[in-house]
């Protein structure tokens, strides 16, 4: 299956909470950083890996059709190779919307995001990479991390622009809160400010008439949307009823999704469910408007997909057969990585691991749905911890440190064959950092996905270091650093 491929050039830095304006210039790019990550500069080769070969073959055949010494056609001098428009370098910025200087304590996908796209276009960039847009977990002290979401397909409603809701007539200007100027996002404070107003706007939308209400109904009836939205809405409704650490502690009929229990929830929490759905519609409407604007400016939006999902999520609760759980629904094995340069005992992430054998039996339908959803939101996306598809580190759930784990065989090419067959070509970037063995490299190359290099990882060893610029591959995305590195800053001469 053909996907795009990339070549590498060093990246530019970015910073938390940028003070953006239309007068921004390249000297200020160091003030645009999200979670101490960086800009991407890449080359997209041809999306159809055969097209260049076909062109070369046609040219050769046209010359071979003549006898040696024979006159060539009068237009022979015009047979100059044309540069494939897909075979080009691209520059971009990694910046999560939460890092915009939103007026209410958090960046959103309103005016600041549109101004940022204008700036990207003016600066000659053509890629905007975001972190996951999923709603962050709020129960287990995740502190708003987009990698600890409660649903792999929902959008973070705290990113909804209140000002845009005013433009839609769903809020009144005088209902907006006082501006909150802060350098960091306090999710508890932001939720107290924005959640009631977004819920109010959703209720007004539900009780309204007109085109926007019709769009909401179409959104809800869409079978692709419903395939994940219904489970997410029920999960949120039940979670709102019980003050438990995770769904494992819910009453047994709800924990195991008994039909009668779910019907009771729908009757008792119908308004909550309707509001939840309407909020997801409002998020998607604003995001797609932003994405369309970015595309008109020649900006491609790159999403980010964690390989694993949290245990306390609609994904696990509604798809237990897809995960390695015991009969009571508790994880048997959890995710992590073995000891490395960053940790003597490895990293214990704690996410439930997939039951790849069970998933393969139904042609990886959960992953197919997830990839379709990603295509609906992004032009391309990075998959975190790509090496886990080849071999993954499995730690017993009762273990306290990751060293208790063992390597296990992942799904490999069978997963991507199923995805390509169901979804078609997908533009993915493989996060291939960490312990990368030959099988991981071969899997990445077999699907044509670009890997990653990090400039700050390139120094401190010998010239063979793959992160040094002279060792960069054509099919690669290069970052200045990661969340484990200090932010790179540019100094004025």
Sheet holding 451-454, edge to edge: 428-430, 380-383, 300-305, 127-129, 88-94, 41-44, 476-479, 451-454
395 C-beta neighbours (distance < 10 Å), count: 26
The answer to whether 30 and 19 are in contact (CB under 8 A) is no
For residue 129, the surrounding DSSP H or E stretch is strand 127-129
- First-to-last C-alpha distance (Å) of the chain: 47
Q: Active-site residue 384, yes or no?
A: yes
Longest dimension (CA), the chain: 88
Is the Cα dihedral 112, 114, 120, 124 positive or negative?
negative
Q: Which residues contact 92 (CB under 8 A, 6 or more apart)?
A: 39, 40, 41, 42, 120, 125, 126, 127, 128, 129, 300, 302
Given the residues 384, 398, 432, 438, the one annotated as active site: 384
Q: How far apart are CA 303 and CA 382, in angstroms?
A: 6
CA-based radius of gyration for the chain: 24
Q: Active-site residue 431, yes or no?
A: yes
For residue 294, the surrounding DSSP H or E stretch is helix 270-296
Q: Which residues contact 39 (CB under 8 A, 6 or more apart)?
A: 11, 12, 13, 14, 29, 91, 92, 93, 94, 125, 479, 480
- Per the DSSP assignment, residues forming a β-bridge with 149 are 136
Q: Active-site residue 439, yes or no?
A: no
HSE on the CB side for 266, CA within 13 Å?
11
Residues identified as active-site = 384, 431, 484
């Amino acid at each position: 299956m053909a996907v795009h491929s990339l070549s590498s050039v060093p990246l530019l830095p970015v910073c938390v909470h940028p003070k953006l304006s239309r007068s921004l210039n390249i000297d200020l790019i160091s003030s645009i950083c999200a979670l101490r990550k960086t800009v991407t500069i890449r080359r997209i080769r041809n999306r159809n890996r055969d097209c260049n070969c076909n062109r070369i073959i046609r040219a050769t055949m046209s010359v071979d059709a003549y006898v040696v010494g024979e006159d060539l056609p009068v237009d022979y001098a015009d047979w100059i190779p044309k540069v494939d428009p897909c075979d080009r370098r691209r520059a971009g910025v990694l910046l999560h919307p939460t890092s915009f200087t939103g007026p209410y304590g958090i960046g959103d996908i309103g005016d600041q995001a549109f101004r940022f796209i204008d700036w990207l276009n003016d600066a000659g960039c053509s890629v905007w990479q975001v972190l996951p847009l999923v709603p962050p977990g709020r129960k287990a002290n995740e502190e708003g991390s987009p990698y600890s979401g409660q649903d792999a397909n929902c959008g973070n409603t705290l990113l909804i622009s209140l000002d845009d809701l005013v433009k839609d007539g769903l809020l009144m200007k005088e209902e907006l809160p006082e501006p909150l100027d802060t350098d960091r996002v306090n999710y508890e404070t932001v939720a107290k400010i924005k959640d009631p107003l977004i819920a109010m706007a959703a209720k007004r939308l539900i009780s309204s008439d007109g085109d926007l209400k019709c769009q909401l109904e179409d959104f809800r009836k869409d079978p692709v949307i419903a395939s994940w939205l219904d489970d997410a809405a029920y999960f949120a409704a039940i979670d709102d009823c019980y003050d438990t650490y995770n769904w494992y502690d819910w009453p047994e009929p709800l924990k195991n999704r008994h039909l009668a229990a779910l019907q009771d929830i729908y009757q008792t929490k119908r308004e909550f469910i309707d509001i939840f759905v309407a909020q997801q519609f409002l998020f998607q409407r604003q995001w797609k408007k932003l994405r369309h604007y970015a595309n008109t400016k020649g900006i491609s939006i790159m999403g980010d997909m964690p390989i694993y999902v949290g245990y306390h999520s609609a994904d696990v609760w509604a798809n237990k057969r897809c995960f390695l759980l015991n009969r009571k629904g508790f994880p048997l094995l959890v995710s992590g990585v073995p000891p490395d340069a960053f940790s003597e005992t490895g990293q214990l992430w704690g996410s439930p691991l997939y039951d790849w054998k069970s998933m393969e039996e139904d042609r990886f339908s959960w992953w197919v749905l997830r990839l379709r959803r990603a295509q609906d939101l992004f032009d391309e996306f990075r998959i975190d911890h790509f090496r886990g598809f080849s071999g993954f580190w499995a730690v017993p759930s009762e273990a306290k440190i990751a060293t208790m784990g063992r390597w296990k065989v992942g799904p490999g090419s069978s997963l991507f064959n199923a995805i390509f067959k169901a979804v078609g070509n997908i533009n993915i970037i493989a996060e291939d950092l960490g312990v990368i063995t030959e099988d991981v490299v071969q899997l990445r190359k077999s699907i044509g996905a670009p890997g990653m290099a990090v400039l700050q990882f390139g120094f401190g060893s010998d010239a063979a270091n793959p992160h040094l610029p002279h060792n960069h591959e054509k099919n690669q995305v290069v970052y200045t650093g990661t969340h484990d590195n200090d932010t790179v800053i540019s100094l004025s001469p």
